Amino acid sequence: MRLQHCALMIVLASTFTSCKLLGITNEKVDFEHPVVTTPSGVVVQDLLEGQGPAVEPGDEVSAHVIVSVQGRDVPFFSSADMGVPLTIVVGTFEDLPGLNDGLLGMRAGGERKLEVPPDQGYGDDGVPGMVPPGAFLIVMIELLSIATIDI
> Is it the case that residue 30 has pLDDT exceeding 80?
no
- Tell me, what's the pLDDT at 64? 97
Provide the whole-model pTM.
0.76
Helix, strand, coil percentages, rounded to 5, for the chain? 20, 35, 45
- Tell me, what's the pLDDT at 151? 53
> Is it the case that residue 9 has pLDDT exceeding 90?
no
- Tell me, what's the pLDDT at 36? 93
- Tell me, what's the pLDDT at 11? 36
- Tell me, what's the pLDDT at 77? 94
Where does the chain have alpha helices with state H?
2-21, 79-82, 98-103
In what helix (H) or strand (E) does residue 116 lie, and over which residues does it extend?
strand 111-116
- Rounded mean pLDDT, 74-78: 94
The alpha carbon dihedral of 36, 37, 43, 44 has a sign of negative
- Tell me, what's the pLDDT at 149? 67
pLDDT tens digit sequence for 120-130: 999 999 999 89
pLDDT band with cut points at 50, 70 and 90 for residue 73:
confident
- Tell me, what's the pLDDT at 148? 72
| Cross-strand partners of 116 | 137
> Is it the case that residue 1 has pLDDT exceeding 60?
no
- Rounded mean pLDDT, 90-97: 93
- Rounded mean pLDDT, 34-61: 94
pLDDT band with cut points at 50, 70 and 90 for residue 87:
very high
Distance CA 146, CA 55 (A): 7
Distance CA 79, CA 69 (A): 16
Domains, the chain: 35-147 (3.10.50.40)
Query: Dihedral through CA 120, CA 125, CA 129, CA 132, nearest 10?
Result: 70
